[in-house]
Amino acid sequence: MKKALALILVVAAFSTCCNRGTTTTTTGRPTVAFVLKTLNHPFFVDMRRGAQEAADRLGVTLQVQAAEREIDVEKQMQIVENLIQTGVQALCITPSGSREIVSALVKARDAKVPIIVVDTRVDAKAAADAGVRTETFVGSDNYEGGRLAGEYLVKVTGGKARVGILEGIPGHETGDSRLRGFRDAVKATPGITIVASQPANWERDQGFNVFQNMLQAHSDIDSVFACSDLMALGALEAIAAAGRTGGIKVIGFDALDDAKKAIAAGTMEASVAQFPSEMGRAAVESAVKVIRSEPVPPDIKVRLELVTRHLLKPVSLLVTKIRRAGWRVRRSGEASTRRT
């Protein structure tokens, strides 16, 4: 009897060991983990929705987790490590820190869990130094989005503006790329002067505080580029508090619903629209292909659009290939027309 019991325990332990990293559900469906920066932001809520739609369609189990705050890199690292221990078969992640997250991704590498990076790129040098390989990157071209915003500002101001910039978190690839694109777009226009540029860390309240101080120090600011709509909306509140609503052109990034309402009301000039639900969908689709040993491209671009009240010449930034072909704009609140 004792020998039989010992044999049962050995078989059970062996089974548990062998099943680690293969399936984590009793239904036999593969499990994909999706670690977002936060779920307290409409952008990432939309991304989760697209990911879940793809998971349901493809018959996989999706585990979505996120830190409370977008800037909480340490919490995100803990989440990644905990999910890897559960034996997930693929990891999709929007890194809160391009360099900091690499140490957690090493754990995924060691567990042979394929990595799909979404929205914010992992620092290439840090990943290479750590021996971390990612399967693909899914996201918009943030540099092109920043340049799109800068070119539009030049156009609507007639090439004359005194600009305040609200940056993201310094050193984070997403905000840095948008900032570079914007600066490159306006630097050849002598009438455009950037009078102040400060971080507001992606947050609405910081957007308000930082821009309020900026306005007090530079009362001649007549235009704002915010690297995200939450910061742009904070700037709008600071503009209203200063009694200058409608007197300062504000361009944001993400085309959140509140931003589109402000554009329709005429208090905000424009916003660069990303499509986070498409990012979530493409990320899960890529994860499933990798699980099935199917090839995926190293870079999957998701389209960008400029949302404004005015119709201009069209611009096309396609999903798989970015091609500059003039302006593409849609009215706030109208359905977008996709180019095939």
203-241 pLDDT, tens digit each: 999 999 999 999 999 999 999 999 999 999 999 999 999
**Is the confidence at residue 177, as pLDDT, over 90?**
yes
Among 160-174, 184-198, 282-296, which is the least confidently predicted range?
Answer: 160-174
Fold of domain 18-139+277-301 = Rossmann fold (3.40.50)
pTM of the model: 0.80
pLDDT at 28: 79
Average pLDDT over residues 309-322: 42
**Is the confidence at residue 24, as pLDDT, over 50?**
no
Q: How much of the chain exceeds pLDDT 90, in percent? A: 79
What residue ranges do the domains of the chain occupy? 18-139+277-301, 142-273
Fold of domain 142-273 = Rossmann fold (3.40.50)
Average pLDDT over residues 105-129: 97
- Per CATH, 18-139+277-301 and 142-273 having the same topology is answered yes
pLDDT at 40: 92
Confidence tier at 283 by pLDDT (50, 70, 90) = very high
pLDDT in tens, 59-90: 999 999 999 988 899 999 999 999 999 999 99
pLDDT at 314: 32
pLDDT at 4: 44
- Across the chain, what does the average pLDDT equal? 86
Q: How much of the chain exceeds pLDDT 70, in percent? A: 83
3 state SS for the chain: CHHHHHHHHHHHHHHHHHHCCCCCCCCCCCEEEEEEEECCCHHHHHHHHHHHHHHHHHCCEEEEEEECCCCCHHHHHHHHHHHHHCCCCEEEECCCCCCCCHHHHHHHHHCCCCEEEECCCCCHHHHHHHCCCCCEEEECCHHHHHHHHHHHHHHHCCCCEEEEEEECCCCCHHHHHHHHHHHHHHCCCCCEEEEEEEECCCCHHHHHHHHHHHHHHCCCCCEEEECCHHHHHHHHHHHHHCCCCCCCEEEEEECCHHHHHHHHHCCCCEEEECCHHHHHHHHHHHHHHHHCCCCCCCEEECCEEEEECCCCCCCCECCCCECCCCCCEEECCCCCCCCC
